[in-house]
């Protein structure tokens, strides 16, 4: 886990206006159609601004020119265990805590205390247990 980069993410996420942040939808496309998370409105999408040189050099899909968000986030955060990555960034948080402050708090908690066990992670994501 890259604690320094995770803390950069937490700090940056707190600066994002809540109305520009969503754990599932990232932008309006063609009127009122929401596009499922793969870019700029979710935690990972917003934080790409913290590492644009690396993204431009290593994480642009040659076929469509889009950022490879998941691959970049694994590299930037050092979190490549899928349950742990989901604990920080899954769109399922939209039901329990779809806020910038909650996301930043979750990241800081992991940096300070490590990841909870798998059962606790799942219960927190589902809202059955508090952080």
Q: What domain range includes position 115?
A: 3-125
> Which is more confidently placed, 70 or 32?
70
For residue range 75-84, list pLDDT tens digits in order: 999 999 999 9
Chain centre to alpha carbon of residue 128: 21
- Cα–Cα distance, 32 to 86 (Å, whole number): 27
**CB of 23 within 8 A of CB of 43?**
yes
User: Is 91 part of a structural domain of the chain?
Assistant: yes
**CB of 96 within 8 A of CB of 70?**
no
User: Is 80 part of a structural domain of the chain?
Assistant: yes
67 band by pLDDT with thresholds 50, 70 and 90: confident
For residue range 81-123, list pLDDT tens digits in order: 999 999 999 989 989 999 999 999 999 999 999 999 999 999 9
User: Is 131 part of a structural domain of the chain?
Assistant: no
65 band by pLDDT with thresholds 50, 70 and 90: confident
Chain centre to alpha carbon of residue 89: 4
User: Is 61 part of a structural domain of the chain?
Assistant: yes
User: Is 120 part of a structural domain of the chain?
Assistant: yes
User: Is 57 part of a structural domain of the chain?
Assistant: yes
Domains of the chain: total: 1
- Cα–Cα distance, 106 to 123 (Å, whole number): 14
């Amino acid at each position: 886990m890259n604690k320094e980069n995770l803390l950069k993410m937490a700090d940056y996420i707190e600066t994002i206006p809540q109305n520009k942040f969503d754990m599932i939808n990232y932008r309006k496309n063609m009127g009122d159609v929401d596009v499922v998370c793969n870019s700029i409105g979710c935690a990972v999408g917003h934080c790409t601004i913290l590492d644009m040189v690396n993204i431009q050099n290593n994480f642009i899909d040659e076929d469509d020119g889009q950022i490879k968000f998941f691959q970049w986030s694994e590299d930037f955060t050092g979190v490549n265990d899928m349950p742990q990555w989901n604990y920080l960034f899954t769109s399922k948080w939209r039901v329990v805590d779809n806020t910038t402050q909650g996301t930043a708090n979750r990241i800081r908690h992991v940096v300070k205390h490590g990841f909870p066990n798998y059962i606790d992670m799942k219960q927190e994501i589902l809202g059955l247990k508090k952080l």
